[in-house]
Amino acid sequence: MRISASFTVSDIGTFKEKLLLWSQQFEEIVWLEGNGHANAYSSFDALLAVDALTTIKTDSYQAFEKLREFQGQAKDYIFGYLSYDLKNDVERLSSKNYDGLDFAELFFFQPKKIIKITGDTVVFEYLMMVDDEIQSDFDSISGGASEIESVTVTENIKIKLRVFKDEYYRQVRKMLSHIHRGDIYEANFCQEFYAEDTQISPYKTYQKLNKISEAPFASFLRVYDNYLISASPERYLRKEGGKLISQPIKGTSKRAEQPEEDDKLVNALKTDPKERAENIMIVDLVRNDLSKSALKGSVVVEELCEVYTFQQVHQMISTVVAQVPLVANPVDVIKESFPMGSMTGAPKVSAMKIIEELEAFKRGLYSGAVGYFTPDGDFDFNVVIRSILYNATKKYVSYSVGGAITAKAVPEKEYEECLLKAKAMREVLEG
Protein backbone atom coordinates (compact mmCIF):
# COMPACT_ATOMS: atom_id res chain seq x y z
CA MET A 1 0.00 0.00 0.00
CA ARG A 2 1.18 3.52 -0.85
CA ILE A 3 0.75 6.71 1.14
CA SER A 4 0.38 9.96 -0.85
CA ALA A 5 1.22 13.54 0.01
CA SER A 6 1.16 16.54 -2.32
CA PHE A 7 3.04 19.83 -2.28
CA THR A 8 2.84 23.00 -4.36
CA VAL A 9 6.17 24.26 -5.72
CA SER A 10 6.63 27.78 -7.09
CA ASP A 11 9.76 27.17 -9.23
CA ILE A 12 9.09 23.76 -10.74
CA GLY A 13 12.03 23.89 -13.20
CA THR A 14 14.57 24.25 -10.39
CA PHE A 15 12.74 21.62 -8.32
CA LYS A 16 13.02 19.11 -11.20
CA GLU A 17 16.79 19.62 -11.41
CA LYS A 18 17.17 19.23 -7.65
CA LEU A 19 14.92 16.16 -7.67
CA LEU A 20 16.97 14.34 -10.29
CA LEU A 21 20.18 15.29 -8.48
CA TRP A 22 18.74 14.00 -5.18
CA SER A 23 17.85 10.71 -6.91
CA GLN A 24 21.49 9.98 -7.76
CA GLN A 25 22.05 8.43 -4.31
CA PHE A 26 19.93 5.42 -5.35
CA GLU A 27 21.10 2.42 -7.42
CA GLU A 28 17.76 1.99 -9.21
CA ILE A 29 16.36 5.10 -10.89
CA VAL A 30 13.78 5.71 -13.61
CA TRP A 31 13.11 9.36 -14.48
CA LEU A 32 10.59 10.17 -17.22
CA GLU A 33 10.21 13.75 -18.44
CA GLY A 34 7.75 15.29 -20.94
CA ASN A 35 9.50 18.66 -21.38
CA GLY A 36 6.20 20.52 -21.82
CA HIS A 37 4.99 18.40 -24.77
CA ALA A 38 1.57 17.79 -23.21
CA ASN A 39 -0.90 15.95 -25.45
CA ALA A 40 -4.12 13.97 -25.17
CA TYR A 41 -2.18 10.97 -23.89
CA SER A 42 0.05 12.66 -21.28
CA SER A 43 -0.54 11.96 -17.59
CA PHE A 44 2.31 13.90 -15.93
CA ASP A 45 5.09 16.40 -16.64
CA ALA A 46 7.77 14.30 -14.92
CA LEU A 47 7.86 11.07 -12.94
CA LEU A 48 10.60 9.63 -10.72
CA ALA A 49 10.83 6.10 -9.29
CA VAL A 50 13.72 5.12 -7.01
CA ASP A 51 14.90 2.59 -4.43
CA ALA A 52 13.88 -0.98 -5.28
CA LEU A 53 11.91 -3.15 -2.87
CA THR A 54 11.86 -6.05 -5.35
CA THR A 55 13.49 -6.53 -8.78
CA ILE A 56 13.53 -8.79 -11.81
CA LYS A 57 16.63 -9.03 -14.01
CA THR A 58 16.92 -11.60 -16.77
CA ASP A 59 18.22 -12.53 -20.21
CA SER A 60 15.77 -13.11 -23.06
CA TYR A 61 14.94 -16.75 -22.20
CA GLN A 62 11.26 -16.81 -21.15
CA ALA A 63 11.67 -13.13 -20.26
CA PHE A 64 8.06 -12.11 -20.89
CA GLU A 65 6.75 -15.06 -18.87
CA LYS A 66 9.00 -14.04 -15.94
CA LEU A 67 7.87 -10.41 -16.26
CA ARG A 68 4.21 -11.50 -16.36
CA GLU A 69 4.71 -13.37 -13.09
CA PHE A 70 6.60 -10.45 -11.47
CA GLN A 71 4.01 -7.88 -12.54
CA GLY A 72 1.16 -10.11 -11.32
CA GLN A 73 2.75 -10.69 -7.92
CA ALA A 74 3.74 -7.04 -7.34
CA LYS A 75 0.21 -5.65 -7.87
CA ASP A 76 1.96 -2.28 -7.69
CA TYR A 77 3.86 0.18 -9.86
CA ILE A 78 6.88 -1.39 -11.53
CA PHE A 79 9.43 0.55 -13.60
CA GLY A 80 12.16 -0.64 -15.92
CA TYR A 81 13.14 -1.54 -19.44
CA LEU A 82 12.74 -4.05 -22.25
CA SER A 83 15.79 -4.48 -24.49
CA TYR A 84 15.46 -4.95 -28.25
CA ASP A 85 16.94 -8.46 -27.93
CA LEU A 86 13.78 -9.73 -26.24
CA LYS A 87 12.90 -10.38 -29.89
CA ASN A 88 14.63 -13.71 -29.22
CA ASP A 89 11.91 -14.58 -26.69
CA VAL A 90 9.09 -13.52 -29.04
CA GLU A 91 10.43 -15.25 -32.17
CA ARG A 92 13.01 -17.93 -32.96
CA LEU A 93 15.84 -15.44 -33.36
CA SER A 94 19.27 -14.86 -31.82
CA SER A 95 21.68 -12.00 -31.06
CA LYS A 96 25.33 -12.76 -31.72
CA ASN A 97 26.73 -9.33 -32.61
CA TYR A 98 29.31 -7.47 -30.51
CA ASP A 99 28.03 -6.06 -27.20
CA GLY A 100 30.24 -3.47 -25.53
CA LEU A 101 27.62 -2.38 -22.97
CA ASP A 102 26.62 -5.64 -21.27
CA PHE A 103 23.18 -4.59 -19.96
CA ALA A 104 20.69 -7.22 -18.79
CA GLU A 105 18.02 -7.84 -21.43
CA LEU A 106 15.16 -7.04 -19.07
CA PHE A 107 15.06 -5.20 -15.75
CA PHE A 108 12.12 -4.00 -13.64
CA PHE A 109 11.79 -2.92 -10.05
CA GLN A 110 9.06 -2.08 -7.57
CA PRO A 111 10.09 1.32 -6.19
CA LYS A 112 9.70 2.29 -2.56
CA LYS A 113 9.48 5.94 -3.63
CA ILE A 114 7.56 7.52 -6.52
CA ILE A 115 7.41 11.29 -7.09
CA LYS A 116 5.12 12.74 -9.77
CA ILE A 117 5.08 16.31 -11.09
CA THR A 118 2.04 17.82 -12.84
CA GLY A 119 2.06 21.59 -13.33
CA ASP A 120 3.26 23.07 -10.03
CA THR A 121 2.01 20.11 -7.95
CA VAL A 122 4.40 17.44 -6.69
CA VAL A 123 2.88 14.18 -5.41
CA PHE A 124 4.91 11.75 -3.29
CA GLU A 125 3.63 8.14 -3.37
CA TYR A 126 5.69 6.07 -0.93
CA LEU A 127 5.29 2.51 0.28
CA MET A 128 4.16 2.44 3.92
CA MET A 129 7.58 1.22 5.10
CA VAL A 130 9.14 4.59 4.09
CA ASP A 131 6.18 7.00 4.24
CA ASP A 132 7.63 8.72 7.31
CA GLU A 133 10.42 10.01 5.00
CA ILE A 134 8.13 12.03 2.70
CA GLN A 135 8.45 15.37 4.51
CA SER A 136 12.21 15.05 5.10
CA ASP A 137 12.76 14.06 1.46
CA PHE A 138 10.70 17.03 0.23
CA ASP A 139 12.69 19.35 2.50
CA SER A 140 15.97 17.82 1.35
CA ILE A 141 15.09 18.16 -2.33
CA SER A 142 13.75 21.72 -1.92
CA GLY A 143 16.88 22.72 -0.02
CA GLY A 144 19.05 21.44 -2.86
CA ALA A 145 20.77 18.10 -2.40
CA SER A 146 24.44 18.21 -3.23
CA GLU A 147 25.88 15.70 -5.70
CA ILE A 148 26.37 12.41 -3.90
CA GLU A 149 29.89 11.82 -5.18
CA SER A 150 32.23 13.71 -7.42
CA VAL A 151 32.68 11.92 -10.74
CA THR A 152 36.02 11.94 -12.54
CA VAL A 153 35.16 12.64 -16.17
CA THR A 154 37.20 12.04 -19.30
CA GLU A 155 38.34 15.18 -21.07
CA ASN A 156 38.35 15.26 -24.89
CA ILE A 157 36.18 12.19 -25.46
CA LYS A 158 37.03 10.49 -28.75
CA ILE A 159 34.03 8.96 -30.50
CA LYS A 160 34.74 5.93 -32.71
CA LEU A 161 32.62 4.41 -35.46
CA ARG A 162 31.69 0.74 -35.29
CA VAL A 163 31.49 0.76 -39.11
CA PHE A 164 33.07 3.30 -41.46
CA LYS A 165 31.17 5.12 -44.16
CA ASP A 166 32.13 2.77 -47.04
CA GLU A 167 31.13 -0.29 -45.01
CA TYR A 168 27.81 1.38 -44.13
CA TYR A 169 27.16 2.00 -47.84
CA ARG A 170 27.97 -1.65 -48.64
CA GLN A 171 25.56 -2.94 -45.99
CA VAL A 172 22.77 -0.61 -47.13
CA ARG A 173 23.25 -1.88 -50.69
CA LYS A 174 22.91 -5.46 -49.38
CA MET A 175 19.72 -4.39 -47.59
CA LEU A 176 18.45 -2.91 -50.87
CA SER A 177 19.18 -6.16 -52.70
CA HIS A 178 16.98 -7.98 -50.13
CA ILE A 179 14.22 -5.40 -50.79
CA HIS A 180 14.50 -5.71 -54.59
CA ARG A 181 14.41 -9.51 -54.25
CA GLY A 182 11.17 -9.25 -52.25
CA ASP A 183 12.52 -10.58 -48.92
CA ILE A 184 11.39 -7.37 -47.13
CA TYR A 185 9.73 -4.03 -47.95
CA GLU A 186 11.55 -1.97 -45.36
CA ALA A 187 14.07 -2.41 -42.55
CA ASN A 188 15.55 -0.13 -39.92
CA PHE A 189 19.33 -0.29 -40.30
CA CYS A 190 21.41 1.07 -37.41
CA GLN A 191 25.03 1.81 -36.57
CA GLU A 192 26.88 2.37 -33.30
CA PHE A 193 29.21 5.18 -32.23
CA TYR A 194 31.21 4.51 -29.07
CA ALA A 195 34.04 5.58 -26.76
CA GLU A 196 36.19 3.23 -24.66
CA ASP A 197 38.04 3.90 -21.42
CA THR A 198 35.74 6.89 -20.92
CA GLN A 199 34.03 8.24 -17.80
CA ILE A 200 31.11 10.65 -17.86
CA SER A 201 28.82 12.22 -15.27
CA PRO A 202 25.45 10.63 -16.14
CA TYR A 203 23.48 13.37 -14.35
CA LYS A 204 25.29 16.27 -16.05
CA THR A 205 25.21 14.48 -19.42
CA TYR A 206 21.44 14.07 -19.11
CA GLN A 207 20.99 17.74 -18.20
CA LYS A 208 22.97 18.82 -21.29
CA LEU A 209 21.21 16.43 -23.67
CA ASN A 210 17.78 17.30 -22.32
CA LYS A 211 18.46 21.01 -22.58
CA ILE A 212 19.33 20.87 -26.29
CA SER A 213 16.68 18.28 -27.22
CA GLU A 214 13.66 18.87 -24.93
CA ALA A 215 12.11 15.61 -26.09
CA PRO A 216 8.60 14.46 -25.07
CA PHE A 217 9.74 11.01 -23.88
CA ALA A 218 13.06 11.87 -22.26
CA SER A 219 14.34 9.43 -19.65
CA PHE A 220 17.19 8.86 -17.24
CA LEU A 221 17.67 5.30 -16.06
CA ARG A 222 20.16 3.83 -13.64
CA VAL A 223 20.46 0.14 -12.86
CA TYR A 224 23.51 -0.14 -10.61
CA ASP A 225 26.43 0.77 -12.93
CA ASN A 226 24.39 0.87 -16.13
CA TYR A 227 22.89 4.15 -17.31
CA LEU A 228 20.51 5.32 -20.03
CA ILE A 229 20.45 9.04 -20.92
CA SER A 230 17.63 9.46 -23.41
CA ALA A 231 16.10 12.28 -25.47
CA SER A 232 13.51 10.06 -27.12
CA PRO A 233 10.83 11.75 -29.24
CA GLU A 234 8.82 8.54 -29.66
CA ARG A 235 6.15 6.66 -27.72
CA TYR A 236 6.16 2.90 -28.28
CA LEU A 237 2.93 1.85 -26.57
CA ARG A 238 0.55 3.10 -23.90
CA LYS A 239 -2.42 1.31 -22.33
CA GLU A 240 -5.21 3.32 -20.66
CA GLY A 241 -7.95 1.02 -19.44
CA GLY A 242 -9.04 -0.79 -22.58
CA LYS A 243 -7.32 1.61 -25.01
CA LEU A 244 -3.92 1.07 -26.66
CA ILE A 245 -1.99 3.97 -28.20
CA SER A 246 1.08 3.65 -30.41
CA GLN A 247 2.82 6.64 -32.03
CA PRO A 248 5.48 5.46 -34.50
CA ILE A 249 7.96 7.90 -36.03
CA LYS A 250 9.28 7.57 -39.57
CA GLY A 251 10.52 10.60 -41.48
CA THR A 252 13.13 13.11 -40.32
CA SER A 253 14.21 16.54 -41.53
CA LYS A 254 16.77 19.04 -40.24
CA ARG A 255 15.78 22.40 -38.71
CA ALA A 256 16.60 25.81 -40.18
CA GLU A 257 17.41 28.96 -38.23
CA GLN A 258 15.14 31.23 -40.29
CA PRO A 259 11.38 30.66 -39.70
CA GLU A 260 10.53 30.85 -43.43
CA GLU A 261 13.18 28.29 -44.32
CA ASP A 262 12.05 26.09 -41.40
CA ASP A 263 8.44 26.18 -42.66
CA LYS A 264 9.64 25.09 -46.11
CA LEU A 265 11.43 22.11 -44.53
CA VAL A 266 8.22 21.13 -42.71
CA ASN A 267 6.19 21.26 -45.94
CA ALA A 268 8.89 19.36 -47.84
CA LEU A 269 8.80 16.59 -45.22
CA LYS A 270 4.98 16.48 -45.20
CA THR A 271 4.86 15.93 -48.97
CA ASP A 272 8.00 13.80 -49.44
CA PRO A 273 6.76 10.57 -51.12
CA LYS A 274 9.63 8.45 -49.76
CA GLU A 275 9.17 9.63 -46.15
CA ARG A 276 5.38 9.18 -46.35
CA ALA A 277 5.79 5.69 -47.82
CA GLU A 278 8.15 4.75 -44.94
CA ASN A 279 5.69 6.04 -42.36
CA ILE A 280 2.65 4.38 -43.93
CA MET A 281 4.44 1.01 -44.15
CA ILE A 282 5.18 1.15 -40.43
CA VAL A 283 1.63 2.28 -39.62
CA ASP A 284 0.39 -0.85 -41.43
CA LEU A 285 2.83 -2.96 -39.40
CA VAL A 286 1.68 -1.35 -36.11
CA ARG A 287 -1.97 -1.89 -37.08
CA ASN A 288 -1.20 -5.55 -37.65
CA ASP A 289 0.70 -5.84 -34.34
CA LEU A 290 -2.09 -4.20 -32.33
CA SER A 291 -4.76 -6.32 -34.01
CA LYS A 292 -3.27 -9.43 -32.32
CA SER A 293 -4.54 -8.16 -28.94
CA ALA A 294 -7.33 -5.83 -30.06
CA LEU A 295 -11.07 -6.33 -30.19
CA LYS A 296 -12.14 -7.03 -33.77
CA GLY A 297 -12.50 -3.89 -35.89
CA SER A 298 -11.20 -1.55 -33.16
CA VAL A 299 -7.80 -0.63 -34.69
CA VAL A 300 -7.97 2.97 -35.97
CA VAL A 301 -5.38 5.38 -37.39
CA GLU A 302 -6.11 8.62 -35.49
CA GLU A 303 -3.35 10.61 -37.14
CA LEU A 304 -1.38 9.84 -40.30
CA CYS A 305 1.98 11.41 -41.26
CA GLU A 306 1.67 14.53 -39.08
CA VAL A 307 4.88 16.58 -38.81
CA TYR A 308 6.01 17.66 -35.34
CA THR A 309 8.84 20.07 -34.62
CA PHE A 310 11.52 19.43 -31.99
CA GLN A 311 14.63 21.35 -30.96
CA GLN A 312 16.97 19.46 -33.31
CA VAL A 313 14.74 18.03 -36.06
CA HIS A 314 11.26 17.82 -37.62
CA GLN A 315 9.64 14.36 -37.34
CA MET A 316 6.75 12.63 -39.11
CA ILE A 317 4.53 10.88 -36.55
CA SER A 318 1.37 8.79 -36.83
CA THR A 319 -0.99 7.70 -34.04
CA VAL A 320 -2.63 4.26 -34.08
CA VAL A 321 -5.18 3.28 -31.41
CA ALA A 322 -7.07 0.09 -30.56
CA GLN A 323 -9.37 -1.35 -27.91
CA VAL A 324 -8.35 -4.45 -25.96
CA PRO A 325 -10.45 -6.61 -23.63
CA LEU A 326 -10.24 -5.30 -20.05
CA VAL A 327 -9.15 -8.79 -18.95
CA ALA A 328 -6.14 -8.77 -21.34
CA ASN A 329 -2.83 -9.29 -19.51
CA PRO A 330 -0.69 -6.14 -19.97
CA VAL A 331 2.57 -8.07 -20.43
CA ASP A 332 0.97 -10.26 -23.09
CA VAL A 333 -0.27 -7.14 -24.90
CA ILE A 334 3.30 -5.79 -25.07
CA LYS A 335 4.71 -9.13 -26.18
CA GLU A 336 2.28 -9.20 -29.14
CA SER A 337 3.83 -6.04 -30.62
CA PHE A 338 7.45 -6.21 -29.44
CA PRO A 339 9.90 -5.03 -30.71
CA MET A 340 8.21 -1.92 -32.08
CA GLY A 341 7.65 -1.72 -35.84
CA SER A 342 9.45 1.59 -36.27
CA MET A 343 12.74 -0.07 -35.22
CA THR A 344 12.33 -3.33 -37.15
CA GLY A 345 10.68 -3.33 -40.58
CA ALA A 346 8.24 -5.30 -42.70
CA PRO A 347 7.68 -8.20 -42.79
CA LYS A 348 8.88 -8.00 -39.21
CA VAL A 349 10.61 -11.35 -38.62
CA SER A 350 12.41 -11.30 -41.98
CA ALA A 351 13.54 -7.72 -41.32
CA MET A 352 14.89 -8.64 -37.87
CA LYS A 353 16.87 -11.57 -39.33
CA ILE A 354 18.43 -9.36 -42.00
CA ILE A 355 19.15 -6.59 -39.48
CA GLU A 356 21.02 -9.08 -37.29
CA GLU A 357 23.04 -10.28 -40.27
CA LEU A 358 24.02 -6.79 -41.53
CA GLU A 359 24.46 -4.71 -38.36
CA ALA A 360 27.82 -4.79 -36.56
CA PHE A 361 26.64 -4.47 -32.93
CA LYS A 362 24.10 -5.90 -30.52
CA ARG A 363 21.36 -3.30 -30.05
CA GLY A 364 20.57 -4.20 -26.43
CA LEU A 365 18.61 -1.41 -24.78
CA TYR A 366 18.92 0.80 -27.88
CA SER A 367 15.60 0.47 -29.77
CA GLY A 368 14.09 -1.22 -26.75
CA ALA A 369 11.73 0.60 -24.37
CA VAL A 370 11.69 2.28 -20.94
CA GLY A 371 8.55 2.85 -18.90
CA TYR A 372 6.25 1.52 -16.22
CA PHE A 373 3.19 -0.54 -15.32
CA THR A 374 0.53 0.79 -12.93
CA PRO A 375 -1.11 -1.36 -10.21
CA ASP A 376 -4.24 -1.76 -12.36
CA GLY A 377 -2.35 -2.99 -15.42
CA ASP A 378 -2.01 0.18 -17.48
CA PHE A 379 1.42 1.02 -18.90
CA ASP A 380 3.41 3.55 -20.93
CA PHE A 381 6.72 2.95 -22.74
CA ASN A 382 8.95 5.07 -24.96
CA VAL A 383 11.26 3.94 -27.77
CA VAL A 384 14.93 4.11 -26.78
CA ILE A 385 16.40 6.27 -29.55
CA ARG A 386 18.45 9.53 -29.49
CA SER A 387 20.06 8.05 -26.38
CA ILE A 388 23.45 7.65 -24.73
CA LEU A 389 24.14 4.35 -22.97
CA TYR A 390 26.91 4.03 -20.39
CA ASN A 391 28.47 1.15 -18.49
CA ALA A 392 30.41 2.87 -15.69
CA THR A 393 32.32 -0.28 -14.69
CA LYS A 394 33.50 -0.98 -18.23
CA LYS A 395 33.96 2.77 -18.90
CA TYR A 396 32.14 2.26 -22.19
CA VAL A 397 29.89 4.94 -23.72
CA SER A 398 27.69 4.29 -26.75
CA TYR A 399 25.01 5.88 -28.88
CA SER A 400 23.39 4.39 -31.97
CA VAL A 401 21.33 5.81 -34.80
CA GLY A 402 19.52 4.36 -37.78
CA GLY A 403 16.95 4.91 -40.44
CA ALA A 404 14.39 3.11 -42.55
CA ILE A 405 15.75 1.56 -45.73
CA THR A 406 13.13 1.24 -48.47
CA ALA A 407 13.40 0.58 -52.22
CA LYS A 408 14.03 4.30 -52.87
CA ALA A 409 16.78 4.66 -50.25
CA VAL A 410 20.07 6.27 -51.31
CA PRO A 411 22.98 5.09 -49.08
CA GLU A 412 24.63 8.53 -49.01
CA LYS A 413 21.39 10.26 -47.93
CA GLU A 414 20.70 7.61 -45.29
CA TYR A 415 24.17 8.18 -43.85
CA GLU A 416 23.54 11.94 -43.71
CA GLU A 417 20.26 11.30 -41.84
CA CYS A 418 22.15 9.15 -39.32
CA LEU A 419 24.62 11.97 -38.68
CA LEU A 420 21.74 14.42 -38.23
CA LYS A 421 20.12 12.14 -35.61
CA ALA A 422 23.50 11.67 -33.89
CA LYS A 423 24.25 15.40 -33.71
CA ALA A 424 22.86 16.09 -30.21
CA MET A 425 24.54 13.06 -28.59
CA ARG A 426 27.88 13.83 -30.22
CA GLU A 427 27.67 17.49 -29.21
CA VAL A 428 26.97 16.57 -25.58
CA LEU A 429 29.82 14.07 -25.36
CA GLU A 430 32.50 15.86 -27.37
CA GLY A 431 31.54 19.41 -26.37
- Residues identified as active-site: 234, 250
Beta strand ranges found along 310-386 (DSSP E): 313-323, 345-346, 369-373, 379-382
The single-letter DSSP state of residue 388 is E
Cβ–Cβ under 8 Å, residues 384 and 229:
no
Question: Beta strand 243-247 with 313-323: parallel, antiparallel or unpaired?
Answer: antiparallel
What lies within 8 Å, CB to CB, of 413 at 6+ separation is: none
Separation of alpha carbons 82 and 63, rounded Å: 9
| DSSP-assigned states of every residue in 54-100 | EEEEE-STTHHHHHHHHHHHH-S-EEEEE-GGGHHHHSS----S--S
Cβ–Cβ under 8 Å, residues 134 and 89:
no
**Cα–Cα distances in angstroms (integers) from residue 249 to residues 150, 255, 282, 308, 387, in the given order:** 38, 17, 9, 10, 15
The single-letter DSSP state of residue 197 is S
Separation of alpha carbons 273 and 189, rounded Å: 20
Helices 134-143 and 12-23: crossing angle, nearest 10°?
110
Angle at 379 between CA 284 and CA 50, to 5 degrees: 135
Q: Taking the CB of residue 151, how many other CB atoms lie within 10 A of it?
A: 15
Cβ–Cβ under 8 Å, residues 217 and 369:
no
ω into 330 cis (within 30 of 0) = no
Closest CA to 330 of 382, 282, 285, 375: 375
The single-letter DSSP state of residue 384 is -
Provide the CB-side half-sphere exposure for 154 (13 A, CA).
18
Phi, psi of 16 (to 5 degrees): -60, -45
ω into 202 cis (within 30 of 0) = no
